Amino acid sequence: MTQMLNELRRKRIGLIHEARSTLHELRAEAYNPNGSDTLSKELERKHDAVMRDLALVDLDIDEERSAEESEATRAAARPGMGEAITTTGVALTESDEFARVWSQRSNHAWTDDRGNPIRVLRPTERFGDQRASGPALGDTVRAMITGPRNESERRALAEGTNSAGGYTVPTPLATMFIDRLRSQSVAIKAGALTVPMTSATLAMARLETDPTIGWRAENAALAEGDPTFGRVLLTAKSLAGIVKISRELAQDTANAGTMIEQALSRAMALEIDRAAIFGDGSSNSPTGITGTSGINEVSMGTNGAVLNTDKMLDAIYEMLLDNASAPTAAILHPRTMIALQKLKDGQGMPVTLPSMLAAVPMLMTTAAPITETQGSATNASSVVFGDFRELIIGMRENITIQVLDQLYADNGQIALAVHARCDVQLAHKESFSRLKGIIP
């Protein structure tokens, strides 16, 4: 796997050199009084193609790095071929480990009410089955503003433009964009599963309580206690926003398409993370982990307190007490991460994290609020621990982009209205624990 990552990095370096070289040629041609418009356009197309390849390589690098991190985590929990170590330090045999892996795989063999299989994507798996040929999403959006520059852009626009001025992104482009978005999502890096939604709703079963199992004497009654199953419903909710861009920027810059795509995917990934982890269900948004009733919670105190490792371990313990798996990650604000790094012992030396806590990947996001109320404190934050494989993000493939060329025309700007649809649900509430009330 490392060899593949190194090859991708070498390819990326080569593409960067090629892009810079083409850009130098393009600039030289622009200052050439005898320059050719045909050559300039050809250089622009060449540069755009290189930047598109670079964006795809970046996506591959992100996925390969995520795969390596996942493998490293598994290796840390499975030190030898003959045994694996659980969070309680108990060695498992090879057969036990096989059963554990098989159980994890079978958990994702989902079917709908007709028995048809449902795709469930792990963080390293692609939403799109194949990559699209032709222009990338950002270049297609640029073509919507300035007009197509070549035949492939004309075909892409013809495929999705409608009379109302909207543009439904072709499915191959949409899935590539969703994969780029997913690669920037902290929740998905933590292990959240993605379910492509083929309709506006998707129902799933959820285990609410475990069955009762007990020993019995001959001719004695069996232990009674049925498992309780609940029903969770993914309902696609609209995620929309407006991005403004100057007409000159779209026309005159060689990498406008790449910048547009990066800006859109980064902003949407951040908002999906906020809703999936900290969403309260207000304003037609999804209800995230901290807004779901029934998850585990540990408080720093009535009016909050400075972070300490004991409370973090208490939060993990609440998960384990409910027979949940060990957390695949902890998600926190950068302020909280810095506070954790600054912890000192009685001699003023940096605190060494307990082994159980050190084994949990700490993922930062500014989507985590730092203005939560805890008693008299209004500047509190939380750390969310969880087996994020129990967090389900449902996503529709349809992405709609509208060019609003009149709304900001007095400023010489063009607005892009972007619409996507998704929802989040927890498959097992007890697999999450929130440590709340952390103050600076």
Is 116 found in the same domain as 69? no
Query: Which of 17-26, 28-37, 218-227, 270-279 has the least mean pLDDT?
Result: 28-37
What CATH number is associated with residue 244? 3.90.1690
- Domain boundary at 26, 54, 73, which? 73
420 within 8 A of 396, measured Cβ to Cβ: yes
What are the phi and psi torsion angles at 48 (to 5°)? -60, -40
In a domain, 68, yes or no: yes
In a domain, 90, yes or no: no
Q: Considering only residues 408 and 5, tell me which one the structure prediction assigns the higher pLDDT.
A: 408
Is 164 found in the same domain as 59? no
Q: Which of 424, 419, 415 is nearest to 398 (CA)?
A: 419
In a domain, 233, yes or no: no
User: CA 430, CA 325: separation in Å to the nearest integer?
Assistant: 10
Is 54 found in the same domain as 157? no
Beta-bridge partners for 415? 244, 404
Q: What is the pLDDT of residues 10-64, one digit of tens each?
A: 777 777 777 777 776 766 666 566 666 666 667 666 766 676 677 667 767 766 6
**pLDDT value, residue 10:** 76
- Kindly give, in sequence order, each residue whose CB lies less than 8 Å from that of residue 423, ignoring residues fewer than 6 positions away: 197, 234, 235, 236, 237, 286, 393, 394
| 101 pLDDT higher than 60 | no
Mean pLDDT for all residues in the chain: 78
Is 428 found in the same domain as 365? yes
Is 249 found in the same domain as 393? yes
Is 365 found in the same domain as 265? yes
**Straight-line distance from the first to the last Cα atom of the chain, in angstroms, rounded to the nearest whole number:** 40
The percent of residues in the chain predicted with pLDDT above 70, rounded, is 70
- Residue-range definition of the domain harbouring residue 54: 1-73
Is 115 found in the same domain as 12? no
User: CA 440, CA 427: separation in Å to the nearest integer?
Assistant: 33
3-class SS of residue 40: helix
**pLDDT value, residue 355:** 93
Is 378 found in the same domain as 257? yes
3-class SS of residue 200: coil
Is 66 found in the same domain as 127? no
| 403 pLDDT higher than 70 | yes
Tell me the pTM.
0.69
User: What are the b/e assignments for 173-194, b being 16+ CB within 10 Å?
Assistant: bbbbbbbbbbbbbbbbbbbbbb
Measured over the CA atoms of residue 269, residue 271, residue 275 and residue 277, the dihedral's sign is positive
| 385 pLDDT higher than 50 | yes
**pLDDT value, residue 75:** 52
In a domain, 23, yes or no: yes
Total number of domains constituting the chain? 2
Is 134 found in the same domain as 67? no
